[in-house]
Amino acid sequence: MESGFSHSALSLVVPLFVVVMVVLSRRVVLSLFLGVCLSGLMLYGFSLESLGFVYKAISSVFYDEGINWDGVFIFAFLIILGVITQIILYSGAIGAFVKWARNHIQTTKGSEFLAFIAGVVIFIDDYFNALTVGQISRSLNDSFHSSRERLAYIIDSTSAPICILIPLSSWGAYNIGLLSKQGIEEPFMVLLQSIPNNFYAFFALIAVILTIIWRVNLPVMRNNVNVGMQDSTTDETHIFHRKSAIIYLIVPIIALIVGICFMIFYTGYQGLEEGESGLIAMLSHTQTPFSLFCGGAFALVVTLLMTFGIIESKEYPSIFWFGAKSMFGAILILIFAWAIGPVIKEHIQTGVYLANVAKNVLSADMMVFMPAILFLISVFIAFCTGTSWGTFAIMLPIGMEVTLQSGSGEMTQSAFLALSAILSGAVYGDHTSPISDTTILSAVGAGCSVQSHFVTQFPYTSIAALCAGVSFVLLALTQSTLIAFCVGFVLLGGIFYILKRFYGGDIKTLESGTK
């Protein structure tokens, strides 16, 4: 479809409007909805056709020449994740994990590594990750005099990066849905192939490891110790002290991984055409949304059977309600993100316009720097809006279209790099934004003030982002992921080694525990 905006700067109005609205209102759903409405007005003016356009854009998420089963499966998967997390909480498994840790961890470094490892293991959702790791690690870190701000940094810089690197998470499901709405075939494989170039996610995790090992405490971290420290009330609840075992935390996660992986390979095998064979061929034919749903359902059944004798039957209605409710916000964002994606791509055609501008302004040699440019734009949007998911919804349709229009129209290496750059930039911008939900939840999970977490985390995450930016530039120059990653890794290690020489050493927390 050729719109009147494909060769006009007016095609930028809708995404820019959404960004400004999110900054001003801090309401992602409302902003995305108004973006769809603005698109209808731009295309059809004040008319019934405009209202029909808005209705069709939103309803197509659920029904478009038939029920959108992929969307239904992803929504169901997200709800299942929410329920599983509540069952784990109610089972007392987190309390059992804390008791075990107190008997086996002997040092400050060990307590912080436990928080890091827990953040890596609990990869299914960043919200669940942030709050659960806080519950697991808070009292243990306090006993070894590690500040709440350090714990918040570890939580925040583990949760989102690990979720974006593992497609079998709520983040993976979300981005698979966005990619499929852009008409991308085999979205799971596309997302999988973008992982090696997601430099910021890798460097953020490595930065946490170096901070823990080398005890790097920058002046801002030393000057903000346990600010606004709040004690958890969860320790006083019967849920936390319920007689339980760590197995009720570990087995559901293993069941989720095994169930999803099995269904991915099974549906891929079922989809093989005559003469096709091999792992890559199987993955290229997988039905990812259906696999996520079935794997999640399997994990839910396993979790229910395991905890049947521990959780009282009267608690299950609350568990299912609060579990589903915890995902309603994400599902609403997903609905309107799916609605506005095709609008920006097919009707407003922002990607076509930007691709034409890029062709005219940038030489053929400069086009290779497009991933680095997309990285910076995504950082800016995510920082201003405080949402990585909202940034994905805005930037993925544009980024994919720019690279596809600039190339052969098919998924090429440049498209995979563009996806990696957008994901990296959005996660970093979200990390450093003071209005981000993950920033807030990480502070809540650790039990410190949001402001102190924001100011203490910023320099650490920015160093990782700087190295990621260098890697994206080197990737453009060398076309080698290995060279780009190695140089970025060495640069990251070198910076943290220098910081260790000047700012290495533990912080002595105040006797009162507050400041």
Residue 320 CB-density burial (10 A; 0-12 exposed, 13-18 middle, 19+ buried) = middle
Average pLDDT over every residue of 167-172: 77
Element (H, E) at 405: helix 388-406
pLDDT score at 427: 93
Q: Give the separation between CA 16 and CA 394, rounded to whole angstroms.
A: 9
159, 117 Cβ separation under 8 angstroms: no
Q: The tokens of 320 are what?
A: 């299912």
Comparing 3-7, 270-274, 423-427, 468-472, which segment has the lowest mean pLDDT? 3-7
Q: The tokens of 50 are what?
A: 């405009």
Q: Give the separation between CA 260 and CA 296, rounded to whole angstroms.
A: 7
Q: Where are the domains of the chain?
A: 31-60, 61-503
371, 476 Cβ separation under 8 angstroms: yes
pLDDT score at 372: 86
pLDDT score at 57: 85
pLDDT score at 400: 78
What's the first-to-final CA gap in the chain, in angstroms?
60
Does 449 score more than 50 pLDDT?
yes
Q: What is the pLDDT of residues 17-73, one digit of tens each?
A: 887 887 677 677 888 889 889 888 888 888 888 888 888 888 888 887 778 887 888
Output the DSSP codes for 191-243: HHHHGGG-HHHHHHHHHHHHHHHTTB--HHHHS-SSTT----SGGGSHHHHSS
Q: Would you give the distance in Å from CA 232 to the centre of its chain?
A: 26
Output the DSSP codes for 31-100: HHHHHHHHHHHHHH-SSHHHHHHHHHHHHTTTBSSSB-HHHHHHHHHHHHHHHHHHHHHHTTHHHHHHHH
Residue 216: strand, helix, or coil: strand
pLDDT band at 508 (very low <50, low <70, confident <90, very high): low
Comparing 32-36, 313-317, 401-405, 488-492, which segment has the lowest mean pLDDT? 401-405
154, 115 Cβ separation under 8 angstroms: yes
pLDDT score at 204: 96
pLDDT band at 104 (very low <50, low <70, confident <90, very high): confident
Q: Crossing angle for the helix pair 288-307 and 247-270, nearest 10 degrees?
A: 150
Q: Give the separation between CA 93 and CA 102, rounded to whole angstroms.
A: 14
Other beta carbons less than 10 A from residue 325's beta carbon: 12
Q: What is the pLDDT of residues 306-331, one digit of tens each?
A: 888 788 888 888 889 988 887 787 78
Q: Which residue is associated with the tokens 């076309």?
A: 479
Q: Would you give the distance in Å from CA 224 to the centre of its chain?
A: 27
Q: The tokens of 488 are what?
A: 């970025």
pLDDT score at 370: 81
pLDDT score at 4: 59
Comparing 14-28, 108-122, 227-241, 371-385, which segment has the lowest mean pLDDT? 227-241
Average pLDDT over every residue of 486-500: 96
- Mention every residue, 6+ apart, whose C-beta is less than 8 A from residue 272: 281, 282, 285
- Mention every residue, 6+ apart, whose C-beta is less than 8 A from residue 482: none
Query: What pTM was computed for the model?
Result: 0.72
Average pLDDT over every residue of 377-393: 79
Q: Give the separation between CA 194 and CA 192, rounded to whole angstroms.
A: 5
Of 104 and 360, which is predicted with more confidence?
104
Tell me the one-letter amino acid at 364.
A
Q: Quote the DSSP letter at residue 504.
A: B
Q: Give the separation between CA 25 and CA 419, rounded to whole angstroms.
A: 27
pLDDT band at 235 (very low <50, low <70, confident <90, very high): very low
Q: Give the separation between CA 165 and CA 368, rounded to whole angstroms.
A: 24
Q: Would you give the distance in Å from CA 346 to the centre of its chain?
A: 26
Q: What is the pLDDT of residues 344-377, one digit of tens each?
A: 767 777 766 766 676 666 555 666 788 888 898 8
* Percentage above 90 pLDDT, the chain: 18
Mean pLDDT of the chain: 80
R_g (Cα) of the chain, nearest Å = 23
Q: CA 8, 10, 11: angle at the middle one, nearest 5?
A: 80
Average pLDDT over every residue of 199-217: 95
Q: What is the pLDDT of residues 408-448, one digit of tens each?
A: 455 567 778 888 999 999 999 888 877 677 777 788 778 78
pLDDT score at 143: 75
27, 330 Cβ separation under 8 angstroms: no
- Mention every residue, 6+ apart, whose C-beta is less than 8 A from residue 128: 81, 85, 122
248, 292 Cβ separation under 8 angstroms: no
pLDDT band at 205 (very low <50, low <70, confident <90, very high): very high
Comparing 133-142, 185-194, 244-253, which segment has the lowest mean pLDDT? 133-142
If we measure between CA atoms, which residue out of 259, 265, 256 comes closest to residue 285? 265
pLDDT score at 259: 86
Element (H, E) at 112: helix 108-121
Does 227 score more than 50 pLDDT?
yes
Other beta carbons less than 10 A from residue 233's beta carbon: 8
Q: The tokens of 176 are what?
A: 């698979």
pLDDT score at 31: 83
